[in-house]
Amino acid sequence: MLWTTAYLWLFPAVQQGKPYTDTATFLLKYVTGDAAPHLWYTIMMLQIQLLMPFFVWLGYKVLTKKKTVWPVLIVATALYVAWYVFYDRQVFEGPHHESWYLLDRFVFSFVIYGIYGEAALIYHETVYRFLYKIRYAFLPVGLALGLLSANHLLHYAGDLSFAHAPYLNTLQSLYSLVLIFAVFMFGSTMIKNNAPQLGTFKWLSTYAYRTYLANVFVFQVLLLCFKDLLLQLPMGIMIIVAYLATASCGFLTSYVLHVLWVTIKGQIKK
C-alpha cells in the first residue's frame, strides 16, 4: 500500500495501462497493481494468501496420499496448459491484448507454481534426489532459454514494453521453472550440508521482497540523478552499471527503512 502510494504520487509516469484521471481510477491502481511495472506481483501474492485455506486442504488432505498425487498434478497441468493457450490466443497475441491484459495476474495464471511447490515440499527427498542427478543441466538449459527469450524480445516488431514481455509465455514459463528447480536443488543442498553461507542468504532473503518493491523507485531516483552520466556509457556497460546500482541501492534502502521502522516501533512501545 505504501509503495503503491509512493509510486502514484512521486512517479506517476511509471503507471501501467491508462493513467489515473480521478479518485476512482487512482484507487483502482491499488487493486490492479498498475501503479508501477512490477506491482502486479503484489496482487498475485494477495490472491495466494486468500487461497491459503485451499492450499492447506490440498496439502494435508490430497497430496499426502500417494495415489492422488500424479492425477492431481496431471489435471492441474492440463488445466494450466488450456488456460495458457487461451491467454496466448485471446490476449497476448489476440484481439483482447489491451482490454484483458490483467488476466496474467489472475490466479489461474500462476496457481500451478503453488501446486508444484506444495508437492515438492511434501515429497522433498524424492524431488531433491532427481534434481541433484541433473544439476549440471541447469546452467546450460537456463542460459539457452534465457538467450532464446531475449532474442525473441529483441526481434519484436515495434516498441518493446513490459506488456510485450509477460511471464505467461512458453519461453518465460520454462525459464522460470528451470530457475525454480535450480534454487530448490541448491538451497536444499546448502541446508543438507549446513553450509556457512546460509546465514548470508537468510539475511538477504529478509530484504529480498522489500527490495523488489523498492527497485523501480530506486531506479527512477538514479535516473533523476545520473541519467546524463549513464547515457555517456556504452550500452552494455550502462545496463550493468544501472543494474548493479539499482540492486545495491535497493537493498540499502530496504535495510534503512527496516531500521527506521524498528526504531519507530520501539519508541511507540515505550
Q: Where is average pLDDT lowest: 86-100, 132-146, 206-220?
A: 86-100
In the prediction, which pLDDT does 140 show? Answer: 94
In the prediction, which pLDDT does 166 show? Answer: 67
In this structure, the number of other CB atoms found within 10 A of the CB of residue 90 comes to 14
Mean pLDDT of 153-169: 68
In the prediction, which pLDDT does 138 show? Answer: 92
Q: 157 pLDDT exceeds 80? A: no
Nearest partner of 37 among 69, 72, 7, 67, judged by Cα: 7
Cβ-defined contacts of 105-109 (< 8 Å, 24+): 105/32, 105/33, 105/40, 105/41, 105/43, 105/44, 106/47, 107/44, 107/47, 107/48, 107/51, 108/79, 108/80, 108/83, 109/83, 109/168
User: Nearest-5° angle of CA 206, CA 176, CA 98?
Assistant: 100
pTM: 0.80
pLDDT digits (tens, 9 = 90+) for 73-96: 999 999 999 998 898 888 877 788
In the prediction, which pLDDT does 98 show? Answer: 75
pLDDT digits (tens, 9 = 90+) for 41-78: 888 888 888 999 999 999 999 999 889 999 999 999 99
Mean pLDDT of 221-243: 90
